[in-house]
Structure 1
Amino acid sequence: MEINKISENIYEIPKEGDMEKPARIYANEALLEKIKGDDTLEQIKNVATLPGLQKHSIVMPDGHQGYGFPIGGVAAIDAEEGVISPGGIGYDINCGVRVLKTDLSYEDVKGREEQLANILFNKIPCGLGKGGYIDTDEEDLEKILEKGAEWMLENDHAKESDLKRCEENGKLPGRPEKVPEKAKKRGLNQVGSLGSGNHFLEIQRVGEIFNEDKAEAYGLEEDQVVVMIHSGSRGLGHQTCTYYLREFEKNYPEIVEKIPEKELIYAPIEDELGQDYKAAMYAAANYAWANRQAITEGIRDCLDEIFGEVETELLYDVCHNIAKEETHEVDGEDKEVIVHRKGATRAMPAGREEVPDVYSDVGQPVLIPGSMGTSSYILSGGEASLDLSFGSTAHGAGRLKSRTQAKQDYWGGDVQDDLKREGIYVKAASGSTIAEEAPGSYKDVDEVIKVSDELGIGEKVAKLRPLVNIKG
């Protein structure tokens, strides 16, 4: 495969064959070599064959092989004449990250990490199934699918400031009737649950500040305790994606025949089925925002139980599995596009209308978790992201080993003990989950962040160090 170095941290696969545009890789040499270890580059070439693709398909420095799209993939597609692809969003629709700021310092929690781990693990449902933090009936679920975080506010599960510091204010124009019934049944009792796999909640402390002005604007200071939540739309989102993938395959046999990978199936955006999927995907995204909000309520209750009244405020909530209509400059003109972000985080700079008023002068907070046991980061949306990546950057460290390989290489109990010696308390539904998520299963998050920062697509603000990690 021909890969040309365009400039520092930018590589390109030239347009060839059925590709509509070139494919771009944002990585340094070391990360590029790791990305070459699976089918990521073949997949991003495949993404470049999608009708209506603008400028280039993109893979971020945390990129690794996924279904159809690579994880870490971005594609902006003509909003009127293009297509929509579930593979460009993923099974966990609106999987995303939120960070809560607290008025606790590291000294307040030091020595109480195990107590924190136990209460959070016991109160917040995690793992497969396991119920949710709040009870919902069928009528509630319909409203959640329609209103997202707005329903949570109306029913005293959120503060107004929570919605204002949430991507899209926690609500997209979803249509509950387009969500399959089987998906609704799976989501009925899961509002306020972590799920399994790489989902987590983590108590962290601010370990290092890189940009004092932006950190101040975000309300961050060294040794402050924050909480990071990583979860999505649970079984409801997975079932919604599965249903529409099969519907697309059934209704577009001619597309199935010509696409290079089955999971890359798409629908023309103007078709009724394409619109139905978009409406269902937005409804599932609303569910995910409600889910993270319910987890937030659980965390607030736990912190209050241990420390008395703790002041907690949402810093931000951002998706990394979503497709949304946005306006971006293409060939010198503003164009409406559907930006597919699959394991990629929105990273809008100061001045963009998508940035909440409170952060309008400094840019959108970008929340990037590391692997279990390593640091996470808060960045700010960089000006260069508009030109390079349609306002996007990486979403994490990116897997280096498959889950199967990780379970062969690591023993959950050993990983847990090693992390405890480093002062990090981990609780999980099973030892195999800990093994799958061992730090050695991931790329070096510091290198991923370095590429983002040097490119100017997501600029370093603060580094967060883990204290307590609860896994699904």
Structure 2
Amino acid sequence: GVRSVRLRLSISSTPANLIRLWSRVNFEYNRQRRQAALVAVQYLKEKQRVVAEREWVAATAAAMHTAGVAPARIYAELTTDRINRRFIERSLYGGRATSPRVGASYPDFDTYRVQATDGLGESGMVWTRVAAVEPVESFEGEVYDFTVAHPDHNFVANGFVVSNCGVRLLGTYLEQEEIAPYLQDLTAALYRACPSGVGGKGRVRVSGRELDELVVEGARWALKRGLARPEDVAHTEEEGCLPGADPSKVSPRAKERGRPQVGSLGAGNHFLEIDVVEEIYDPEVADAFGLRENQVVVQIHCGSRGYGHQICDDYVKSLQGAVRKYGLSLPDRELVCAPIDSPEGRAYYGAMACAVNYAFVNRQVLAMGVREAFEQVLAGKVADFDLYQVYDVAHNIAKFEMHEVEGKQMRLCVHRKGATRAFGPGRPEVPEAYREVGQPVLVPGSMGTASYVLVGTQKALDLSWGSTCHGAGRVMSRHKARKKIWGADLRQELEAQGIVVRAGSMKGLAEEAPAAYKDVSRVVEVVHGAGLARKVARLRPLAVIKG
């Protein structure tokens, strides 16, 4: 007979070999398989990074334990969303004969594929996060410069802008001593009632049609659904609704991101605080605002979440063409703009107004969550646990206002980026209850520092279109703050000052450390001295909730 020969090709299934196979050979004859293989390469690389991180944590935990570091501190410093306390305990006391696995919480490939390719189709590309942005020293190689004007530019820094990031101040009828025994429970209840963190889901679920109604109606949408009180709406800038919102100018991706996040804090510098009024500077105005010494108040600082961020991302890209089309000259290559009456300008304004109104509703829904938490913890323990709204003011917004220019009233589009409206007495836009004294101006401090309530002035209208500061700017990048500051140490420092802290992560806590910001008290003194706003009250934090 004829001898036959059969060859069997065996391919190692180790992650390293599969990465080499699919990234170098792949399935060029089949587009679907090629796309799946490219995604699988990234999936395996991510798994390798997670395993390496867990190996590092296991070794670091053991080294810290050998050095005499208390287990509680080891858990606080090394626990992350991918590494739980049980893993660290086993590393300390159980020993490890083999390399750690990724953990049960790590998504399977099908789940990862859906999440990582959202909106990318069968391109083979996946979404991922920028690991770090660091200065490079003594670099002599070539760099391909992706500028905003370059057609290949597609990077927008996280947090570039979120329309109507702003602050809401709620007053109570309580004094500090009344809530002191319940402060821990109250903070925990607020943490549950007000979802936070990157991508955090909100308190209210809405359909696509309801979202479009929400962003057109603003605070009135919440009022009709029992999520607001009439006085809440009256004590909100623009009564919680900026005219001109046009949902047709908002991308499907922005709507997709915004639908699940109504009523959520988010992350970054956004927060919820329980404060006490520590000092009153202007008793008459403070009385008009409903503020008094030793009073407990609550601040809510957040914006339009992923909805507003996506709108910005979309229009930064589309307006690059408008800059060239209209021959505009800008002082910074990372700026874009369009004439306000151009098709591009009108489209952006319609989308931005949607984000503004989304943010007003977002803070309104959170305010109702705060009221529910106070009732849950304090009912039957204090005489009156209710909260009333002092004011809600935007920090990032552009809108049309009437101002005097060379002796004549003119309709201007005033763009406040990192600034707060500060209208003085008599302006019709100021709520009737405050019209004789001027508009409340809310200036939050950094975490653990004082915040301020100011009042708008006529001088601000004369000098700065009725605008003033919105807080204390950063002096340290988030990356640098994480390198210099341990979140667990910061939490201990704040709690040693009597400030209760709840945070989604220790890294996020470190990013917002007081040392990362300017001194807000000095900023306020400059504003007060210049007459752009006057000091009314200083607030001291009792509890802080961060995303």
Tell me the TM-score normalised to structure 2 length.
0.69
Deviations 1:380-423 (A, max 9, x none): 00121011111011001111111111111100000000000000
Higher helix share: 2
Aligned length: 386
Give yes or no for contact 1:90–1:342 (8 Å, CA) kept in 2. no
Following TM superposition, the consecutive aligned residue runs of length 4 or more in structure 1 with deviations greater than 2 angstroms are 250-263
Counterpart AA for 1:108 = E
Q: Structure 2 regions of 5+ residues with no counterpart?
A: 1-155
Aligned to 1:368: 443
Q: Output the aligned Cα RMSD.
A: 1.6
Counterpart AA for 1:352 = R
Q: How far does residue 155 in structure 1 lie from its aligned partner after superposition?
A: 0.5
Return the alpha-carbon distance in structure 2 between the equivalents of residues 419 and 360 of structure 1. Answer: 38
Which runs of structure 2 are paired with 1:302-341 in the superposition (5 Å)? Answer: 302-308=373-379, 310-341=385-416
Asked whether 1:117 is paired with 2:192, we answer no
Counterpart AA for 2:410 = K
* CA radius of gyration, larger in: 2
Counterpart AA for 1:293 = Q
Asked whether 1:230 is paired with 2:301, we answer yes
Counterpart AA for 2:357 = N
Inter-CA distance 154–258: structure 2 relative to 1 (3 Å threshold): same
Return the alpha-carbon distance in structure 2 between the equivalents of residues 250 and 383 of structure 1. Answer: 40
Asked whether 1:286 is paired with 2:357, we answer yes
Give yes or no for contact 1:90–1:321 (8 Å, CA) kept in 2. no
Larger mean Cα displacement after TM superposition, 240-249 or 331-340: 331-340
Higher strand share: 1
Return the alpha-carbon distance in structure 2 between the equivalents of residues 310 and 114 of structure 1. Answer: 16
Return the alpha-carbon distance in structure 1 between the equivalents of residues 236 and 189 of structure 2. Answer: 26
Return the alpha-carbon distance in structure 1 between the equivalents of residues 186 and 506 of structure 2. Answer: 19
Return the alpha-carbon distance in structure 2 between the equivalents of residues 431 and 363 of structure 1. Answer: 40
Which runs of structure 2 are paired with 1:43-58 in the superposition (5 Å)? Answer: none
Aligned to 2:132: none
Return the alpha-carbon distance in structure 2 between the equivalents of residues 177 and 171 of structure 1. Answer: 17
Which runs of structure 2 are paired with 1:401-420 in the superposition (5 Å)? Answer: 401-420=476-495
Aligned to 1:247: 318
Aligned to 2:471: 396
Larger mean Cα displacement after TM superposition, 122-131 or 256-265: 256-265
Identity, % of aligned positions: 46
Aligned to 1:357: 432
Deviations 1:434-456 (A, max 9, x none): 10111111111111110111111
Give yes or no for contact 1:249–1:256 (8 Å, CA) kept in 2. no
Give yes or no for contact 1:255–1:265 (8 Å, CA) kept in 2. no
Larger mean Cα displacement after TM superposition, 270-279 or 247-256: 247-256
Asked whether 1:196 is paired with 2:267, we answer yes
Counterpart AA for 1:259 = L
Secondary structure class of the residue paired with 2:385: coil
Secondary structure class of the residue paired with 1:329: strand
Give yes or no for contact 1:425–1:469 (8 Å, CA) kept in 2. yes
Secondary structure class of the residue paired with 1:112: helix
Which runs of structure 2 are paired with 1:123-138 in the superposition (5 Å)? Answer: 123-138=193-208
Deviations 1:304-323 (A, max 9, x none): 00111622110000001000
Return the alpha-carbon distance in structure 1 between the equivalents of residues 206 and 176 of structure 2. Answer: 36
Return the alpha-carbon distance in structure 1 between the equivalents of residues 263 and 507 of structure 2. Answer: 23
Counterpart AA for 1:219 = G
Return the alpha-carbon distance in structure 1 between the equivalents of residues 443 and 160 of structure 2. Answer: 18
Q: How far does residue 255 in structure 1 lie from its aligned partner after superposition?
A: 5.7
Return the alpha-carbon distance in structure 2 between the equivalents of residues 297 and 111 of structure 1. Answer: 23
Q: Structure 1 regions of 5+ residues with no counterpart?
A: 1-85
Equivalent residue in structure 1 for 2:172, among 98, 102, 108: 102
Secondary structure class of the residue paired with 2:389: strand
Secondary structure class of the residue paired with 1:111: helix
Return the alpha-carbon distance in structure 1 between the equivalents of residues 240 and 330 of structure 2. Answer: 34
Return the alpha-carbon distance in structure 1 between the equivalents of residues 541 and 475 of structure 2. Answer: 20
Q: How far does residue 257 in structure 1 lie from its aligned partner after superposition?
A: 7.6
Inter-CA distance 363–90: structure 2 relative to 1 (3 Å threshold): farther
